[in-house]
Amino acid sequence: MVGEKEQWFGPGETARRLGVTTKALRVYEREGLIVPHRAESRWRLYGPTQIARLHQIIVLRDLGLSLKSMRKLVGSHSRLRDVLRLQRETLESQQDKIRRAIALIEVALCQIDEGRDLSLDELANLTKETVVQQTTDNKKFAARVEALIAEQDPTGRTSRTFDEIRKQYSGDANTAALKAIAAEASRLKEAGDINSEAAKELVRRMRSRTVGIRRSTSQAEQALIRDAYAKTAAEAQARSEPLPLDPAVLEFFRQVAQGMRERGELE
């Protein structure tokens, strides 16, 4: 018998409270993602455990995971904490963008109310920042990478490694340095010379920044993280979304590094 102090809901009420359909609940049950309690009348009931599981499912769905992928992730309290953290980061990123967009709109409205026309530059900036999603959503991108890592590594070890890498490279100073490196990398890629001294020097500089990561992570972990990044980048490109770093730039520097190794200029 279910606990008297616990709240239990039928499919209709559960679906209403969570913003999904009863059909979705049936799909999740059929796929083994959720197991509702059965009352003596055989009615399906959803209590605290099922609601917590459904929260994980809905968040992972919104992050783009397939039903098969979700089955590997949902269920434990530690996983719920990870899912909640990813959801919080994504919502915070969206919140910041919405605030900036509203502020720009307010400025534009004041200018119009004062009888002043918006310049072409102001109109272009307003469109870019409030209509066209042109800036890279790094937090959402990283959350998707992390979700894919967790999907392939149920032990959570590589997820913890990735989280440590993110912490290591967080902060304004690191962000600015990485942006400068990305800009320089793009310029060198456009030049197209994989044997140039400038390209080789940048490879050495990039490797010096990641020497600690390479020493503290296994080859398998590095490969899993690279694979998750590549898949996330491919998904973003399919949606015409900008990326933290152009895959063509990464490929260019892979070729530079490969040539350096072949010539004995790199370990």
DSSP string over 121-135 = HHHHHHHHHHTS--S
Within-domain flag for 195: yes
Same domain, 24 and 40: yes
User: Do residues 43 and 166 share a domain?
Assistant: no
Same domain for 85 and 38? no
**Is 18 in the same domain as 88?**
no
Task: Write out the two tokens for 21.
Answer: 């359909």
Answer for the pair 28, 54: CB distance below 8 angstroms, yes or no: yes
39 plus 129 within the same structural domain: no
Based on the domain organization, do 128 and 229 belong to the same domain? Answer: no
Is 168 found in the same domain as 251? yes
- From residue 254, alpha-carbon distances to 167, 230, 233, 265 in Å are 25, 14, 16, 14
183 and 241 housed in the same domain: yes
Q: What are phi and psi of 37, to 5 degrees?
A: -75, 145
Q: Is the pLDDT of residue 238 over 70?
A: no
How many domains are contained in the chain? 3
Look at residue 259 and tell me if it is in a domain: yes
Give the rounded distance of the alpha carbon of 118 from its chain centre: 35
**69 in a structural domain:** no
Which tokens hold the place of 70? 């979700």
- CB proximity list for 248: less than 8 A, separation 6 or greater: 189
Same domain assignment for residues 125 and 249 = no
pLDDT at 93 over 90: no
Q: Does residue 250 sit within a domain?
A: yes
Residue-wise DSSP of 194-250: TT-HHHHHHHHHHHHHTHHHHHHS-HHHHHHHHHHHHHHHHHHHHTT---SS-HHHH
User: How far apart (Å, rounded) are the C-alpha atoms in residues 78 and 74?
Assistant: 10
CATH code (residue 16): 1.10.1660.10
Residue-number span of the structural domain to which 250 is assigned: 136-267
**3-state DSSP assignment of residue 178:** helix
Confirm whether pTM is higher than 0.75.
no
Same domain, 247 and 150: yes
82 lies in some domain? yes
Q: Is the pLDDT of residue 72 over 80?
A: no
Say whether pLDDT at 94 is over 80: no
Q: Which residue has the tokens 């992972």?
A: 60
Contact 145, 228 (CB under 8 A): yes
Of 220, 90, 242, give the one whose Cα is nearest residue 157.
220
pLDDT digits (tens, 9 = 90+) for 119-145: 777 776 776 666 544 445 677 777 778
Could you report the per-residue pLDDT of 30-62, keeping only the tens digit for each?
888 899 998 888 889 999 888 888 888 887 777
Cα–Cα distance measured from residue 15 to residue 17, given in angstroms and rounded to the nearest whole number: 6
Q: Is the pLDDT of residue 29 over 70?
A: yes
Q: Is residue 68 part of a domain?
A: no
Q: Is 151 helix (H, G, I), strand (E, B) or coil?
A: helix
